Chains A and B, each alone.
Chain A
Amino acid sequence: MLRFLAHRLALAVPTLVLASMIIFALQQLLPGDVATALTGEERDPEVIAFIREKYHLDQPLPVRYAYWAGGVLQGDLGVSVRLQKPVAELVLEKLPVTLELACLAMLVALAIGVPMGILSAVRRGTWLDAAANGVALWGLSVPNFWLGILLILLFSVHLGWLPASGYVPPGEGLIDNLKAMAMPAFVLGNAIAAVMMRHTRAAMLGVLGSDYVRTARAKGVSPLRLVLRHALPNAAIPIITLGALEFGQLLSGAVLTEQVFSVPGFGKLMVDAVFNRDFATVQGVVICTAATYIALNLAADVLSAVVNPKLRRA
């Protein structure tokens, strides 16, 4: 198990380093002088000089990367010129909001996707299966920012049940917090629910066709017990692994969902930074996203290895 862990870590580190190089190289795409472009709207020569020095812009690209990466390793993601704050501070400030949104959305996705997937696998070929597949197709095809707008139209504008935007920290009122998060979490979870339903259905179909399930059925195990106690635990492995992979999708979706509902999270930070040409913040957010994604993949690998010893042979 330790060797497996070491092997996986050894694979994850170069991936992260390479990703950080790509993200750093993005600023080479900026038209014109990098220092002027990085300062955005700001035209103060003092600020431009500060940026030039801060990012060692008179040095060649690899040297600049080394300086930048060295800073990132010490938790220095650069400075947001626009907000006059360290990027790391901004990210830490916004991260809990997005994490809450992502966790709630994952709950929504699991609550809808897994039962639907089980039902459609057990009742394969029936109208229930067709209906579940239809719902999944809807989830995969509906643009989540449009779904958000429609929900606001219904629940905020017409019915007045839920706030259209804004965020209340859980510390200041859990009920208000959940009310503000209900629509964003549903919108974000909706697309993932479709993917979870497809994964669950495929995994359950695989397990239900196996010999041990047939044996259990022959022994007279009740259908409910057969599905929940015999089949589901084994089907859970691919569901967990693939679910962790969906986290990237969740972060992508959060960018738009937070924009629609004005949730002050990670995605909103990135979009605002894009608009303000605050490129240090954009890079900081992207590198944190990549690091989170790689860490989650690693966690999923380890988790499935814990559940299934056969996978430990790296």
Chain B
Amino acid sequence: MSTGTPLTESAGVAAPAGNLAILQEPGSLAAFWRRLAARRSALIGLAIVVALVATAALADLVAPYDPTATDWGAVRAAPSLAHPFGGDEVGRDVLSRIIYGARASLGAGLVSVGLAVALGLPIGLVAGYAGGWIDAAIMRLTDALLAIPFLILAIALAAFLGPSLTNAMLAIGLSATSTFVRLTRAQVRAVAAEEFVEAARSVGNPPWRIALVHILPNIVPAILVQATLTIAAAIIAEASLSFLGLGQQPPEPSWGAMLNVAKNFMDQAPWMAIWPGLSIFLAVLAFNLLGDGLRDALDPRQRT
């Protein structure tokens, strides 16, 4: 760096040097992207996620048929040029239902995890930063919630709320909340012990300002990783609830609900079971790959 021409050095040392410093800083966005891009599996995951989101968003344009339109000529029809993924038990186009089903799966994954973060982050922040009896009370409550296995809690919640996609999202989101409370709390306590927080406190910053401005930005990476991995779990949970009849209601398409019907026609129309399952698998795999990649890119200590 020291061998620049005298002219440029005197003209603008501050600006380029400053930029370079940001680029070299391990926490910067560009460096983060480079580390993520260095992992092929993370990029594959990201590509599948982008493709799935695009499919769900553009379903009206991409799908060859109306996902709920029945055609008696296509009842359990084997895959053909007209119906590449075949037809289902009432002659609906399986490919179109898969494409529209992406909306239910991705929507459920994003909405339920969004809900879990929206609830879990502030609660965890309060528990971790306030400490004392508030912390103790919140921790005992999450202990109790975590004692009920995730899917069983989601099924019970969905059963009492009543079967619908919205209630399934609510049930999954609430079931996943305690994980985010625990994670946020643990992260907050770790960061709050750092010297820069002590410094911020000693210059007279109020607690809310320390929590939001000094602590929150430092725990975002861990939350982001957990959120991505939880989306994968939420997609499986939505498919499971729909498979049990507690999620998306017919005739609206959902991958889990399609599998539920397909298991009755396994010997006559196996394609009805293969494509929805493959779609769930791909979506879950993509978020798992992306989550693992994000973890490695964001936290050098955990890199394997």
Contacts and interface: CB of A to CB of B under 8 A. Distances in A.
A286 B152 contact: yes
Contact of B259 (A22, A145, A274, A279): A145
B147 A16 contact: yes
30 contacts: A15-B147, A16-B144, A26-B156, A29-B157, A29-B161, A31-B162, A137-B288, A141-B284, A143-B240, A143-B280, A149-B262, A149-B263, A150-B277, A152-B263, A153-B266, A153-B270, A157-B266, A251-B152, A252-B151, A253-B151, A256-B243, A271-B155, A271-B244, A275-B245, A282-B159, A286-B148, A286-B156, A289-B152, A290-B144, A293-B149
A237 interface: no
Nearest to B286: A141
Given A137-B285, A259-B244, A282-B156, A146 B140 contact: no
A162 interface: no
A287 to B, nearest CB: 9
B149 A30 contact: no
A142 interface: yes
B277 A274 contact: no
A14 B245 CA distance: 34
B46 to A, nearest CB: 15
A255 B284 contact: no
B149 A289 contact: yes
Contacts of B151: 252-253, 255-256
Contacts of A289: 148-149, 152
- Looking at B150, B156, B232, B262, the one whose CB has the most chain A CB atoms below 10 A away is B156
Top 10 A-B pairs, shortest CB-CB distance: A146-B277, A18-B144, A252-B151, A248-B149, A141-B285, A19-B144, A274-B159, A29-B160, A252-B149, A141-B284
A151 to B, nearest CB: 11
B246 A274 contact: yes
Nearest to B236: A143
Nearest to A251: B149
A273 B162 CA distance: 13
A140 interface: yes
Contact of A149 (B144, B240, B259): B259
Interface of B: 140-141, 143-145, 147-153, 155-157, 159-162, 232, 236, 239-240, 243-246, 259, 262-263, 266-267, 270, 273-274, 276-277, 280-281, 284-285, 288-289
Contacts of A252: 149-152
Given A19-B148, A149-B273, A14 B140 contact: yes
A256 to B, nearest CB: 6
A89 to B, nearest CB: 20
Contacts of A153: 266, 270, 273
Main secondary structure of the interface of B (DSSP, over half): helix
B108 to A, nearest CB: 14
Nearest to B154: A252
Given A146-B281, A149-B266, A153-B266, 12 more contacts: A22-B145, A26-B156, A30-B160, A137-B285, A140-B232, A143-B281, A145-B243, A249-B150, A256-B244, A270-B152, A274-B155, A293-B147
A279 B239 contact: no
Interface of A: 14-16, 18-19, 21-23, 26-27, 29-31, 137-138, 140-143, 145-146, 149-150, 152-153, 157, 248-249, 251-253, 255-256, 259-260, 270-271, 274-275, 279, 282-283, 285-286, 289-290, 293-294, 297
Nearest to A205: B304
B232 A146 contact: no
A27 B160 contact: yes
A143 B284 contact: yes
A30 B167 CA distance: 12
A286 B243 CA distance: 20
A140 to B, nearest CB: 6
Contacts of A26: 156-157, 160
Contacts of B288: 137, 140-141
Contact of B148 (A23, A143, A255): A23
